[in-house]
């Protein structure tokens, strides 16, 4: 993806030419600096090509094993690059029973982003299903996750012994990997030289398209409860209240009016909303002692209590003389008050 590749891709894009990039990334042992250069080049190239196929050299250890010979390991990587290019060319150029032409390839490859191309040839029992599963399992390719593919192109090549049910098996296996709303195009080609074998070629694009993985999840809002989360609003809260619109039922609470009253808040309504007039404060009365129970309050006789009636019993008068409050005397002794 480095060198002149991004420049060539940019020119092709400006000319409206379908451009597919096929690159390889270095081994991990080649160093971080070399890997960084490769990633920067791949990122730049991806912005100009329609689709980008990336081969990871590091995965040769997984495919070939630790004992793989040097030249055979690189030959395996070269085969992946070759199959990616030749497979797309074969889809376009070879006439088939159900033909896939350049416009189909352009539709699929036009889904910009990472792409994968896989091919597999299988013979014998379950050849259709096994070939399809092997075609989408390309261990050397980066980003092979068909669950996010926006475009999938499938080409089935076999002799005239190809059964209709085998075509269904191939497409069912591949659709099991692809997104539900992906654009899937398939074609079939007869090739008698294959004998009993069946070849499946898969091209999937748009693998890293953010729209492919966009799911609308319900938003969860967490609120931390505090010791005052259900308390009544304070004067400062009420004074800072701002209505959502001019047609709100209450526009604002007047702090000045609230502080000048003891029985209520002056609330001014907007439009035709009702208003609550403030009650006048009672002057000359000290309410500070009402936080204590009545029996503990000083100056209990500060306010005049009702007097005993003429028909009250002598016991009631005796209790009153000894300092009992009027309401502390049982009612049947008080009988009637003046």
Residue among 126, 182, 181, 121 at smallest CA distance from 157: 121
pLDDT tens for each residue of 63-105: 777 787 888 888 887 887 787 777 777 777 777 777 777 787 7
Among 39-48, 243-252, 328-337, name the one with the lowest average pLDDT.
Answer: 243-252
The side-by-side arrangement of strands in the sheet containing 51-56 is 20-25, 51-56, 113-123, 197-205, 151-158, 183-190
pLDDT tens for each residue of 275-318: 444 444 445 556 666 566 665 565 554 455 567 666 677 777 77
Identify the DSSP state of 244. S
- Residues 83, 117: contact at Cβ < 8 Å? yes
3-state secondary structure of 268: strand
Which pLDDT score is estimated for 196? 92
Q: In the chain, what percentage of residues exceed pLDDT 70?
A: 63
> Is the pLDDT confidence value at 220 over 80?
no
The stretch 260-278 carries a mean pLDDT of: 43
3-state secondary structure of 172: helix
Higher per-residue confidence, 203 vs 268: 203
3-state secondary structure of 276: strand
Tokens standing for 18?
Answer: 């379908």
Q: b/e string for 45-75 if b means 16 or more Cβ within 10 A?
A: bbebbbbbbbbbbebbeeebeeeeeeeebee
Which residues does residue 171 pair with via DSSP β-bridges, in sequence order? none
- Confidence label for 257 from pLDDT (cuts 50, 70 and 90): very low
- Residues 89, 72: contact at Cβ < 8 Å? no
Rounded to the nearest integer, the mean pLDDT of the chain is 71
What is 96-164 written as a DSSP string?
A: -SB---HHHHHHHHTS-EEEEEEEEEEESTTHHHHHHHHHH--TTBTT--GGG-SEEEEEEEE-TT--H
> Is the pLDDT confidence value at 11 over 80?
yes
> Is the pLDDT confidence value at 121 over 60?
yes
pLDDT tens for each residue of 169-218: 999 888 887 777 888 888 888 889 999 999 998 888 877 654 444 433 43
Please state, as a whole number, how many other Cβ atoms lie within 10 Å of the Cβ of residue 82.
Answer: 12
In the chain, the domains with their CATH numbers are: 5-209 (3.40.50.1440), 304-338 (no CATH)
Phi/psi class of residue 132: alpha, beta or left (left: φ > 0; alpha: ψ in -120 to 50)? alpha
Higher per-residue confidence, 250 vs 146: 146
Q: How far is 81 from 53, CA to CA, in rounded Å?
A: 9
Q: How far is 127 from 105, CA to CA, in rounded Å?
A: 25
pTM of the complete model beyond 0.85: no
Residue spans of alpha helices (H) in 25-121: 32-46, 60-64, 70-93, 102-109
Q: How far is 206 from 143, CA to CA, in rounded Å?
A: 10
Higher per-residue confidence, 303 vs 137: 137
Which pLDDT score is estimated for 98? 76
Q: How far is 32 from 258, CA to CA, in rounded Å?
A: 70
Higher per-residue confidence, 190 vs 274: 190
């Amino acid at each position: 993806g480095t060198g002149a590749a991004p420049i060539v891709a940019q020119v092709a894009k400006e000319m409206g030419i379908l451009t597919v990039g096929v690159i390889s990334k270095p081994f991990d042992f080649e160093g971080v600096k070399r890997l960084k250069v490769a990633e920067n080049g791949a990122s730049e190239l991806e912005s100009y090509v329609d689709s980008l196929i990336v081969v990871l050299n590091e995965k040769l250890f997984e495919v070939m094993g630790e004992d793989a010979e040097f030249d055979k390991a690189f030959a395996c990587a070269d085969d992946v690059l070759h199959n990616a290019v030749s497979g797309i060319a074969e889809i376009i150029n070879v006439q088939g029973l159900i033909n896939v032409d350049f416009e189909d390839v352009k539709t699929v490859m036009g889904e910009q982003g990472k792409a994968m191309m896989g091919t597999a040839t299988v013979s014998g029992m379950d050849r259709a299903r096994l070939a399809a599963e092997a075609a989408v399992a390309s261990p050397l390719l980066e980003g092979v996750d068909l669950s996010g593919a926006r475009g999938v192109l499938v080409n089935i090549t076999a002799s005239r012994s190809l059964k209709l049910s085998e075509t269904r098996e191939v497409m069912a296996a591949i659709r099991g990997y692809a997104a539900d709303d992906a654009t899937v195009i398939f074609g079939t080609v007869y090739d008698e030289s294959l004998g009993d074998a069946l070849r499946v070629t898969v091209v999937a694009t748009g693998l890293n398209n953010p729209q492919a993985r966009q799911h609308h999840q319900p938003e969860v809002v967490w609120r931390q409860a505090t010791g005052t989360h259900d308390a009544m609003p304070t004067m400062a809260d009420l004074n800072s209240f701002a209505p959502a619109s001019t047609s709100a039922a209450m526009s604002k609470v007047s702090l000045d009016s609230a502080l000048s009253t003891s029985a209520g808040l002056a609330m001014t309504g907007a439009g035709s909303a009702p208003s609550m007039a403030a009650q006048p404060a009672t002057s000359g009365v000290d309410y500070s002692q009402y936080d204590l129970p009545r029996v503990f309050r000083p100056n209990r006789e500060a306010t005049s209590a009702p007097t005993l009636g003429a028909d009250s019993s002598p016991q009631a008068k005796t209790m009153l003389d000894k300092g009992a409050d009027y309401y502390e005397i049982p009612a049947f002794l008080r009988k009637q008050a003046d």
